[in-house]
Amino acid sequence: MMPSATLLGQALISGVLAGGMYGLLALGLSLSWGLLRLVNLSHFALAFLAAYLTYEMGTTYHIDPWWSVLLIVPAMFAIGLVQHWIFDRFKVNELASLLITFSFAVMLEVGIQLYWTADYRRFETHYATWSIKAGPFYIPVLELILCLVAGVLAWGTWLWLRKTYVGKALRASAEDADIAAAYGVDHKKLAYLLSGLGAAYAGVAGTFIALIATLAPAQIWAWLGVVFAVVIIGRLGNPLGALFAGMLIGASESIAMAILSPAWAPVVSFSVLIAILLWDPEWS
């Protein structure tokens, strides 16, 4: 039976907003994969580390997430630098980066589990359930803010890559690092900056994960598949593409759940990815 138009409209709104989280998570991943040829599987673990830190600061020290994010994002940036030092020190290539960051992720998962245990954690705020009513539809405020933040970050990053010399140098290095260096680009230094930035974006995502989701260590892996699909659909190294792809997948999943059943949701992202790759095998 076909659901009502109102239900479909609500599913579309919820899906697009939920897709903002996919886009936000995909952003950092897409940058390091597309521009540094490093696939960072630990990106999700870093986001969850940030989420747990947000939770810890909120519950133990009563620091509001809107303040703790100001500490967490620079801390994540620093972690990104340390991580890149390891990539740099051991001359890690694309394939090796998968293995190494997988082990990072497992270590972070174990660390999180040791400190916060495997219990589900929920960071309660009085504004978690706020929503705006627009006609027959409800728009959850937190998700809306998340989407706005993701939009500003994606758009800002896109402009940074297109308009600044550093951004152009990063794109040039991704194509031909030797020739970029021959024109003075110190790729190593820029790679550190970008790795730090990717981890900082994981920090932003983590703050919203703490506000919106229930935390458990194993959740680190929950978004892996769908966000990878989003990164490729959005094209590697394209921040706006990552955001739009996230919203597309979020909306498709949500509508599939409304029309078919929730069990179909995980199939959607890869179906869209396969369809796109069949249409244009050179897509990413």
Partner 1 sequence: MLLEARNLHIGYGDAPAVWDVSFDVDAGEIVSVIGPNGAGKTTLINAIAGLLRCRQGELRFDGADMKRVRAHDYCSHGIALVPEGRRLFTKMTVEENLELGCYLPAARAARASSLERVYGLFPILRDKRQQPAGELSGGQQQMVAIGRALMARPRIVLFDEPSLGLAPTIVDDMFDIISRVRDDGAAVLLVEQNVLKALSIADRAYVLEQGRIVATGLPDELLKQPHIREAYLGV
CB of 111 to partner 1, least distance (A): 37
Question: What is the spatial distance between Cα 179 and Cα 170, in angstroms, rounded to a whole number?
Answer: 12
Q: How far is CA 167 from the centre of its chain?
A: 20
DSSP string, 61-76: S---HHHHHHHHHHHH
CB of 236 to partner 1, least distance (A): 11
Site for partner 1, rule CB under 8 A:
165, 168-169, 171-172, 175-176, 178-187
Q: Among candidates 205, 254, 161, 266, which has minimal Cα distance to 29?
A: 205
Nearer to partner 1, 237 or 246 (CB): 237
CB of 112 to partner 1, least distance (A): 39
Question: At a CB cut-off of 8 Å and minimum separation 6, what does 118 contact?
Answer: 216, 217, 218
Q: Among candidates 122, 119, 128, 110, which has minimal Cα distance to 55?
A: 122
Strand partners, 133: 138
The answer to whether residues 146 and 208 touch, using CB atoms and an 8 Å cutoff, is yes
CB of 169 to partner 1, least distance (A): 6
Question: At a CB cut-off of 8 Å and minimum separation 6, what does 282 contact?
Answer: none
CB of 146 to partner 1, least distance (A): 30
Nearer to partner 1, 124 or 175 (CB): 175
Identify the helix (H) or strand (E) that includes residue 113.
helix 94-116
What are the φ and ψ backbone dihedral angles of 87, each rounded to 5 degrees?
-55, -45
Question: What is the spatial distance between Cα 222 and Cα 109, in angstroms, rounded to a whole number?
Answer: 12
Nearer to partner 1, 119 or 282 (CB): 282
Nearer to partner 1, 119 or 175 (CB): 175
CB of 186 to partner 1, least distance (A): 5
Angle at 272 between CA 41 and CA 198, to 5 degrees: 30
Nearer to partner 1, 165 or 279 (CB): 165
CB of 239 to partner 1, least distance (A): 15
Nearer to partner 1, 121 or 171 (CB): 171
Q: How far is CA 241 from the centre of its chain?
A: 13
Nearer to partner 1, 144 or 177 (CB): 177
